[in-house]
């Protein structure tokens, strides 16, 4: 049954009453909102909204009803956007009446924060942004709605530039000390999206004063423990982005003593799922390029053991009494794991001691290995990716623990994974495990037969250039071992494959295969003469000679270096 009947809906003498009826009918009722949209009420409401002959009260009521409709489903918002509601509301902002302006802005805010609204619509008319800036001073409501629109519609460097050039920093900075929490919060969010990976904005923010205080100190105050979590986290993001953009030094007290500890706090299990995800991802981004920050984070508030909890979430179903919350968190638990992966990768990316101490002692390797068996390709990729990073330049103990925890069966199962990303990261792990001669020899002495089988299968299979290049690089690492290289030299089938790839049409594959031969014939190593003689008999010298004339300079140099081993 349909509640609305369009005939006579907007008879002049009953316009106001009908609008009130409509408003009361649709508030909080998505079915009624959809009914009204289907019946074609939106074009009529927009017509009345734009008529200068309509009373301000009626035009305001139309904006309020449209605002209520925009709070419905995503389909409702799509319908409103298709009816060109945004240009009509932006036009309404030219009116001098504050109550009408606020009603239009409230509706615009709701539409623009929806994921289905193209944010570019805010930037189509170049007069819109400066006009919105001019409306910021009208009231706390205009400040709240406009900064929220800016925060949601700043998605690209071009958007950042437009807002920056129209005075966003000077106009929004004073709002950080507004008496209204909502205004302060939206202003803070604005600065976080403006500063993200933007050196120009970040460098400007460092020099901004708010009521005589440096902006960075305002952000520090907003990170205090007595402030709402949303505010602490967003202020920490602002300082993180300014630091990564080079506007604040990584050893500045506001980063080391305030921002980093704040973000570590956000990772604790007392925080909500979204807060833990955002905290971990922001912390990973902050310390990614800086070894000292990684060291500090690794010993701050048991961060590593906190991260281990990310994989066990939710740890106790009975402890969560809110069933709706539990359902939501179970569905989004993978976001926690992904955030933890990023943080582990960042923590262990530069420093071997950290990698051994936060990681090995926490039993994370076993957790990551178990995730590589997940049905979800995304989890398998992230699990193997984290293991790959962990094995990079690691000592023998770490590598052995990874191989033992993963198990050769699972390693080779991953090497035949249908997902190319999983395969590439597994090859990356194998390449990192097979680096430095003692490690290469030890691993190949235990698992050489299976590894050579896996390499053969990949080189013979239908795989991308990138996959085969990575596989040939693994073979080159094996060829660098003292004893491991014999697994290649005694395998004529593998030598023929190397010869094939040296003559391949793709330079990357030629380079990797030539590098492999170069390692096999290196004349400073035991048995090099015998290896050189065998490879000469198989025609490798002729191929190397041809490659010294190659058009690619890298390939030409690699072939010449290999040829010199024969001449030495």
Domain 1-117 - what CATH class? mainly alpha
Which of the listed CATH numbers 1.25.10.10, 1.10.3720.10, 2.60.40.1180, 3.30.530.20 matches domain 438-567?
1.25.10.10
* pLDDT recorded at residue 27: 59
pLDDT at 321 over 60: no
How many whole angstroms separate alpha carbon 401 and alpha carbon 381?
Answer: 20
* pLDDT recorded at residue 526: 85
How many whole angstroms separate alpha carbon 341 and alpha carbon 357?
Answer: 17
Question: Two tokens at 534?
Answer: 């065998």
Question: Two tokens at 177?
Answer: 């000390």
* pLDDT recorded at residue 8: 38
CA 92 to chain centre: 38
* pLDDT recorded at residue 59: 95
Q: Which tens digits make up the pLDDT trace of 99-129?
A: 999 999 999 999 999 999 999 999 999 999 9
pLDDT at 322 over 90: no
Measured from the Cβ of residue 375, the count of other Cβ atoms closer than 10 Å reads 6
Nearest to 559 by CA among 543, 544, 549, 546: 544
How many whole angstroms separate alpha carbon 222 and alpha carbon 151?
Answer: 18
Least confident range from 27-41, 225-239, 346-360, 434-448: namely 346-360
pLDDT at 65 over 50: yes
* pLDDT recorded at residue 561: 92
Least confident range from 142-156, 289-303, 401-415, 549-563: namely 289-303
pLDDT at 17 over 80: no
Give me the percent of the chain exceeding a pLDDT of 70.
Answer: 88
Nearest to 150 by CA among 129, 171, 131, 178: 129
pLDDT at 2 over 60: no
* pLDDT recorded at residue 131: 97
Nearest to 234 by CA among 333, 139, 304, 147: 147
Determine which helix (DSSP H) or strand (DSSP E) holds 214, and give its type and residue range.
strand 213-214
Phi–psi pair at 507, nearest 5 degrees? -65, -35
**How much is the average pLDDT of 205-232?**
96
How many whole angstroms separate alpha carbon 552 and alpha carbon 103?
Answer: 65
Question: Two tokens at 46?
Answer: 């927009």
- Structural contact between residues 9 and 44, judged by C-beta atoms closer than 8 angstroms: yes
SS3 of 398-450: the string is: HHHHHHHHHCHHHHHHHCCCCCHHHHHHHHHHHHHHCCCHHHHHHHHHHHHHH
* pLDDT recorded at residue 11: 41
Same fold, 1-117 and 438-567: yes
**How much is the average pLDDT of 540-567?**
93
**How much is the average pLDDT of 49-59?**
92
Q: Which tens digits make up the pLDDT trace of 449-489?
A: 989 999 999 999 899 999 999 999 999 999 999 999 999 99
Print burial letters for 24-63: b (CB count within 10 Å at least 16), e (below 16).
ebbeeeeebbbbbbeeebbeebbebbeeeebeeebbbbbb
Q: Which tens digits make up the pLDDT trace of 247-266?
A: 999 999 999 999 999 999 99
* pLDDT recorded at residue 14: 46
* pLDDT recorded at residue 376: 83
* pLDDT recorded at residue 35: 74
pLDDT at 7 over 60: no
Phi–psi pair at 214, nearest 5 degrees? -65, 145
Least confident range from 119-133, 261-275, 359-373: namely 359-373
Domain boundaries, the chain: 1-117, 438-567
How many whole angstroms separate alpha carbon 67 and alpha carbon 88?
Answer: 13
pLDDT at 536 over 80: yes
* pLDDT recorded at residue 549: 94
Looking at per-residue confidence, does 509 or 273 come out higher? 509
DSSP string for 515-550: HHHHHHH-TTSTTHHHHHHHHHHTTHHHHHHHHTT-
Q: Which tens digits make up the pLDDT trace of 373-394?
A: 988 888 888 889 888 988 888 8
Looking at per-residue confidence, does 408 or 63 come out higher? 63
**How much is the average pLDDT of 364-380?**
85
* pLDDT recorded at residue 134: 97
């Amino acid at each position: 049954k349909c509640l609305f009947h369009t005939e006579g809906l907007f008879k002049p003498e009953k316009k106001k009453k009908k609008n009130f009826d409509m408003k009361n009918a649709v508030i909080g009722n998505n079915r009624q909102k959809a009914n009204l949209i289907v019946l074609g009420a939106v074009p009529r409401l927009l017509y009345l909204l734009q008529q200068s002959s309509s009373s301000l009260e009626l035009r305001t009521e139309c904006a309020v009803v449209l605002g209520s409709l925009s709070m419905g489903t995503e389909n409702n918002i799509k319908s409103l956007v298709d009816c060109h509601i945004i240009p009509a509301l932006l036009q309404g902002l030219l009116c001098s009446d504050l109550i009408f302006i606020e009603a239009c802005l409230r509706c615009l805010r709701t539409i623009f924060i929806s994921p289905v609204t193209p944010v570019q619509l805010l930037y189509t008319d170049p007069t819109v942004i400066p006009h919105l800036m001019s409306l910021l001073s009208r009231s706390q409501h205009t400040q709240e709605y406009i900064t929220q629109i800016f925060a949601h519609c700043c998605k690209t460097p071009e958007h950042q530039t437009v807002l920056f050039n129209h005075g966003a920093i000077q106009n929004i900075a004073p709002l950080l000390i507004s008496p209204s929490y909502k205004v302060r919060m939206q202003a803070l969010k604005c600065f976080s999206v403006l500063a993200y990976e933007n050196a120009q904005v970040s460098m400007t923010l460092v020099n901004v004063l708010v009521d005589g205080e440096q902006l960075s100190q305002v952000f520090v105050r907003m990170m205090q423990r007595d402030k709402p979590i949303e505010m602490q986290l967003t202020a920490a993001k602002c300082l993180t982005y300014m630091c990564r953009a080079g506007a604040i030094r990584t050893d500045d007290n506001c980063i080391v003593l305030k921002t980093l500890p704040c973000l570590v706090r956000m990772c604790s299990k007392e925080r909500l799922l979204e807060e833990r995800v955002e905290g971990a991802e922001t912390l990973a981004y902050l310390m990614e390029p800086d070894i000292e920050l990684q060291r500090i984070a690794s010993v701050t508030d048991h961060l590593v053991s906190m991260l281990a909890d990310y994989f066990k979430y939710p740890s106790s179903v009975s402890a969560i009494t809110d069933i709706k919350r539990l359902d939501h968190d179970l569905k989004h638990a993978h976001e926690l794991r992904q955030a933890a992966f990023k943080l582990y990768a960042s923590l262990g990316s530069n420093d071997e001691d950290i990698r051994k101490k936060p990681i090995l002692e926490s039993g994370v390797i076993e957790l990551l290995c178990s995730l590589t068996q997940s049905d979800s390709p995304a989890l398998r990729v992230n699990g193997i990716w984290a293991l790959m990073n962990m094995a990079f330049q690691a000592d023998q103990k770490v590598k052995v623990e990874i191989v033992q925890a993963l198990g050769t069966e699972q390693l080779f199962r991953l090497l035949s994974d249908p997902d190319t990303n999983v395969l590439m990261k597994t090859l990356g792990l194998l390449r990192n495990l097979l680096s430095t001669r003692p490690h290469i020899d030890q691993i190949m002495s235990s698992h050489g037969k299976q590894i050579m089988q896996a390499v053969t299968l990949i080189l013979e299979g239908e795989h991308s250039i990138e996959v085969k290049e990575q596989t040939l690089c693994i073979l080159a690492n094996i060829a660098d071992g003292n004893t491991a290289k014999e697994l290649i030299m005694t395998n004529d089938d593998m030598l023929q494959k190397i010869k094939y790839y040296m003559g391949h049409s793709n330079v990357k594959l030629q380079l990797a295969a030539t590098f492999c031969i170069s390692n096999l014939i290196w004349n400073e190593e035991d048995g090099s003469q015998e290896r050189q003689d065998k490879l000469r008999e198989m025609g490798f010298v002729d191929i190397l000679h041809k490659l010294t004339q190659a058009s690619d300079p890298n390939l030409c140099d690699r072939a010449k270096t290999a040829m010199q081993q024969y001449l030495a």
